[in-house]
């Protein structure tokens, strides 16, 4: 079974649309794939969905967060990395993946996608992740 780490933009997309990103979370909910996140990623997710442009009410944000927490596995990264210099926050995704020993890092972020791989873990789009899962 593939182990995944999802970037914040994938999580936000899953909360807004019922596309590939939503399908990844759905597969995690039914036990087909484990998704690993860290507290740093969850905090960034909460910050992003609170932005006015997404128009989530407080109760919608709480519900989205509760659903996410019930779906993912939390890890506490113990190694720091400094690979992505142009957007240091992206390094938190890599740290989480390292800690989780993930197979795939799923992202829509150009900084991460341009790396293509990190310590043997492929960095892919949500579509590529679903393809890797044979979905």
Residue of 11, 2, 70 lying closest to 34 (CA atoms): 2
What are 16's two structure tokens?
A: 């807004």
For domain 4-132, the CATH superfamily is: 5'-nuclease (3.40.50.1010)
pLDDT tens per residue, range 103-119: 999 999 999 999 999 99
Decide if 17 contacts 108 (C-beta within 8 A). Answer: no
Q: Say if residue 28's pLDDT is above 90.
A: yes
What are 18's two structure tokens?
A: 């019922």
- Sketch the domain layout of the chain as residue ranges: 4-132
pLDDT band (50, 70, 90) for residue 19 = very high
pLDDT band (50, 70, 90) for residue 29 = very high
Task: Centre a 10 Å sphere on the Cβ of residue 59 and count the other Cβ atoms it contains.
Answer: 8
Q: Say if residue 101's pLDDT is above 90.
A: yes
């Amino acid at each position: 079974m593939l182990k995944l780490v999802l970037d914040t933009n994938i999580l936000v997309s899953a909360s807004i649309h019922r596309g590939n990103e939503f399908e990844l979370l759905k597969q995690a909910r039914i036990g087909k794939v484990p998704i690993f996140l860290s507290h740093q990623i969850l905090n960034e997710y909460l910050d992003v969905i609170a932005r006015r442009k997404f128009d989530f009410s407080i109760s919608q944000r709480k519900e989205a967060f509760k659903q996410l927490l019930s779906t993912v596995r939390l890890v506490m990264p113990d190694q720091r990395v400094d690979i992505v210099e142009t957007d240091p926050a992206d390094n938190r995704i890599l740290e989480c993946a390292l800690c989780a020993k993930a197979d795939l890092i799923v992202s829509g972020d150009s900084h991460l996608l341009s790396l293509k791989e990190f310590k043997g873990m492929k960095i892919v789009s949500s579509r590529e992740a679903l393809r890797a899962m044979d979905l």
